[in-house]
């Protein structure tokens, strides 16, 4: 499939943009496996983020009746439409292309338009994966689930456990609101151009309620960010910026103030975020 991608790029006078993290999935078997892992029904409200040249778009159109895709690089859109037309995998009429930034989209508005919480799919560039997840957490009422391909290092952060080097703000905030499972690894040889990394596909399912009590989401996030603000700081010092970080206050929560943020469980973060 890489030869087809090369030819499509050539016809449209395009080259992959490194700054946008454009590494196009070129293995159709991997693309079909990712779409199968989505377990979609024909009428599901599906949105693909970063369709590129249609590697996932085409098999998605073979499953769902309509598909919305969000593409930041407007120069790719004519090539994407051509790929869909040539493949005849559902027809252009079932595809809606939004030229825009996935970080700035109102997902609630889109979910209302499409008739329900969204199923998101995407091969995410490394540069947007972390900020996009925080954006989606903020708009979680509009999201049902996600099947995303990440750089493996990002995936390991999402799957990390307390006390590990990968455990951090992204881990805690994501795991508080989502159930996360590994789907598969994807090697560099499955892309054009080949990246210098291995990718990991994850399934992220948004929870209707957080895994721990979070009556004040903004405060929970502030506590988590402060705890990881300087990883070597003990909690008694790290939380002072919140104005409540005395050792006695932390001890009243049943937590040793000499501990560091990366050792805390979700339940312990929840306790710290609850107001006395």
Q: What confidence tens digit (pLDDT) does each residue in 225-276 have? A: 999 988 788 999 999 878 766 788 899 999 999 999 999 999 999 999 987 6
Residues 253 and 122 in one domain: no
Residues 97 and 138 in one domain: yes
Joined tokens for residue 87: 């493949």
Among the candidates 157, 186, 206, a domain finishes at: 206
Domain assignment present for 248: yes
Q: Are 151 and 126 in contact (CB under 8 A)?
A: yes
Domain assignment present for 212: no
Rounded to an integer, the average pLDDT of 145-158 is 97
- Element counts in the chain: helices (H) and strands (E): 12, 9
What's the confidence (pLDDT) of residue 86? 83
What's the confidence (pLDDT) of residue 14? 80
The angle at the Cα of 52, spanning 48 to 101, to the nearest 5 degrees, equals: 60
What's the confidence (pLDDT) of residue 2? 58
What's the confidence (pLDDT) of residue 88? 66
Supply the mean pLDDT for the chain: 92
Residues 155 and 255 in one domain: no
Band of pLDDT at residue 96, cut at 50, 70 and 90: very high
Residues 16 and 59 in one domain: yes
209: left (phi over 0), alpha (psi -120 to 50) or beta: beta
DSSP string across 164-183: STT-SHHHHHHHHHEEEEEE
Band of pLDDT at residue 21, cut at 50, 70 and 90: confident
How far, in Å, CA of 276 to CA of 274, rounded? 6
Domain assignment present for 140: yes
CATH code for the domain in which residue 51 is found = 3.40.50.150
Joined tokens for residue 177: 């609101």
Domain assignment present for 96: yes
What's the confidence (pLDDT) of residue 87? 80
Rounded to an integer, the average pLDDT of 75-79 is 94
Q: How many structural domains does the chain have?
A: 2
Q: Are 52 and 72 in contact (CB under 8 A)?
A: no
How far, in Å, CA of 113 to CA of 107, rounded? 10
Report pLDDT digits (tens) over 196-217.
899 999 999 999 999 999 999 9
* Structural domain containing residue 22: 2-206
Report pLDDT digits (tens) over 32-58.
999 999 999 999 999 999 999 999 999
How far, in Å, CA of 176 to CA of 264, rounded? 13
CATH code for the domain in which residue 238 is found = 1.10.8.100
Residues 44 and 66 in one domain: yes
Band of pLDDT at residue 8, cut at 50, 70 and 90: confident
Domain assignment present for 162: yes
What's the confidence (pLDDT) of residue 1? 56
Return the sign of the alpha-carbon dihedral for residues 65, 71, 74, 75. Answer: negative
Q: 18 or 193: whose pLDDT is higher?
A: 193
Return the sign of the alpha-carbon dihedral for residues 128, 131, 135, 140. Answer: positive
What's the confidence (pLDDT) of residue 9? 80
Domain assignment present for 211: no
Burial class (CB in 10 A: 0-12, 13-18, 19+), 6: middle
DSSP string across 195-218: -SS-EEEEEEEE-SS-SS--S-HH
Rounded to an integer, the average pLDDT of 83-101 is 79
pTM of the complete model: 0.92
What's the confidence (pLDDT) of residue 242? 80
Q: Which of 144, 159, 157 is nearest to 111 (CA)?
A: 144
Residues 164 and 254 in one domain: no
């Amino acid at each position: 499939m890489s030869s087809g991608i090369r030819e499509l790029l050539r016809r449209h006078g395009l080259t992959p943009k490194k700054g946008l993290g454009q590494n196009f999935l070129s293995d159709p078997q991997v693309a079909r496996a990712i779409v199968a892992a989505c377990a979609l029904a024909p009428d599901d409200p599906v949105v693909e983020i970063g369709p590129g040249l249609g590697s996932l778009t085409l098999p998605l159109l073979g499953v769902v009746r309509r598909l919305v895709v969000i593409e930041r690089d407007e120069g790719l859109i004519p090539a994407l439409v051509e790929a869909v037309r040539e493949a005849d995998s559902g027809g252009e009429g079932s595809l809606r292309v939004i030229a825009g930034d996935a970080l700035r989209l109102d997902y609630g508005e889109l979910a209302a338009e499409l008739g329900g919480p969204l199923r998101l799919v995407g091969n995410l560039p490394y540069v947007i994966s972390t900020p996009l997840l925080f954006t989606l957490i903020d708009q979680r009422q509009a999201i049902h689930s996600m099947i995303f391909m990440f750089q493996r290092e990002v995936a390991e952060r999402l799957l990390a456990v307390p006390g590990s080097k990968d455990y951090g703000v992204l881990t805690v905030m994501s795991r508080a609101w989502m159930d996360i499972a590994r789907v598969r690894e994807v090697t560099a040889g499955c892309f054009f151009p080949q990246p210098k990394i291995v990718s990991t596909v994850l399934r992220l399912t948004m929870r209707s309620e957080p895994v721990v009590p979070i009556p004040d989401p903004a405060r929970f996030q502030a506590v988590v960010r402060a705890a990881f603000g300087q990883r070597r700081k003990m909690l008694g010092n790290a939380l002072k910026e919140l104005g409540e970080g005395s050792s006695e206050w932390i001890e009243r929560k049943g937590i040793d103030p000499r501990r560091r943020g990366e050792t805390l469980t979700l339940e312990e973060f929840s306790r710290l975020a609850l107001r006395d």
